[in-house]
Amino acid sequence: MKPVYIVDGARTPFLKSRNRPGPFSAADLATQAGRTLLVRQPFAPSELDEVILGCAAPSVDEVNIGRVAALRMGCGQKVPGWTVMRNCASGMQAVDSAINNILAGRSKLVLAGGVDALSRAPLLYAEKMVLWFSDMAAARTTGQRQTAENLAHRFGITRGEMDVFAVRSHQRVAKAQADGDLAPGGGEVEALYDASGKAYALDDGVRADASLESLAKLKPFFDRKYGNVTAGNSSQITDGAAWLLLADEEALREHNLQPLGRIVDSEWAGLDPAQMGLGPVHAATPILKRHGLGLNDLDFWEINEAFAAQVLGCLAAWKDERYCREELGLDGALGELEQNRLNVDGGAIALGHPVGASGTRIVLHLLKTLHRTGKKRGIASICIGGGLGGAMLVEAL
């Protein structure tokens, strides 16, 4: 397989929904992040072969939002822009679609990413009912959000363990912001500006003061009588966008581009929707098998934090002899993933989960983390509402 390179990437700050429409539409978010990324490239936006954007809940006036963003970013009328939707992995699907078109020889230089402005997600009116399509509906339908409770019960994950995981996520994001790694100028997050010139520079859902005591006060949200999943140990409803610029070797030479890394492999998996949260296990394990890797042979992992119970459930599944044999077809348990390799700068519990953007964000952040630390390879993986999982093996150059 010919190599597919990641040349550059950028994302907006992730802005927490505050029970009202946020300051930016999804197209605003995608356009601002994309313009910032494209303006620093040595080629014109019109030289892209295509723009692919993942979005789970586009507004009614942003149908085919990939095309809307491409035109607003100055790519011109001749650059095709199109939209993909794979629920929580829409942004990862956009990247995978770009990879496939590059491998097929149809494209050489592609801008691919994801976006959602969940605070502005549309209302759909039907007879005698109104459905609010936001993160709670797009990624957490009743059955899908119940999976977090299912996993907690199945693997014996306690409320205390969930809250510890959540606090650590906030602390790690706060440290990365303070260190400049998740701040403008750090190579990943680019500031947003509204019509009045106000700047939005940081992911604003992080709570540096998060503590076990404060999280313990929150009541279970889904199973109010027996549950342990709360708003505090779940991902936040958020607006945000992320992009990656992908190229083949010919495009690197033509435009004198210096790649950051390459996508080595990708995998999609299906599983019982009631166990949706284990999607990363089912998607990442085949990659490990193909490349003869163990969990800790990777320098870093990014597993999207839809829920603390969901990530902890993935870790428990890999340690479970029976699960690995019966569900993954392995000879035995894969073992324990070392915590200093997983979500080292926090995750969606603190950052938020703008459904369409998260799959791109975790690939982008994984590559930035590998470069920052001088490490070589990692896997980004995500669970997907409806009973799916996605994963990508990334190598830094």
Chain centre distance of CA 281 = 16
Tell me which residue of 283, 262, 258 sits closest to 394, measured CA to CA: 262
Report how many helices (DSSP H) and strands (DSSP E) the chain contains, helices first.
13, 14
Helix axes 26-39, 65-72, angle to 10 degrees: 40
3-state secondary structure of 360: helix
Q: What whole-number distance in Å separates Cα of residue 320 and Cα of residue 341? A: 20
In sequence order, which ranges of 234-307 are alpha helices (DSSP H)?
Answer: 249-255, 279-291
Taking the C-alpha atoms of residue 173 and residue 195, their distance in angstroms, rounded to an integer, is 28
Report d(CA 130, CA 233) in Å as an integer.
28
The b-or-e profile of 292-311 (16+ CB within 10 A means b, else e) is ebebeebbbbbbbbbbbbbb
Residues with a known catalytic role: 88, 353, 383
Residue 79 CA, distance from chain mean position: 26
* Identity of the amino acid at 319: K
Ramachandran class of 2: left when φ > 0, alpha when ψ lies in -120 to 50, beta otherwise: beta
Residue 291's Cβ-side half-sphere holds a number of Cα atoms within 13 Å equal to 20
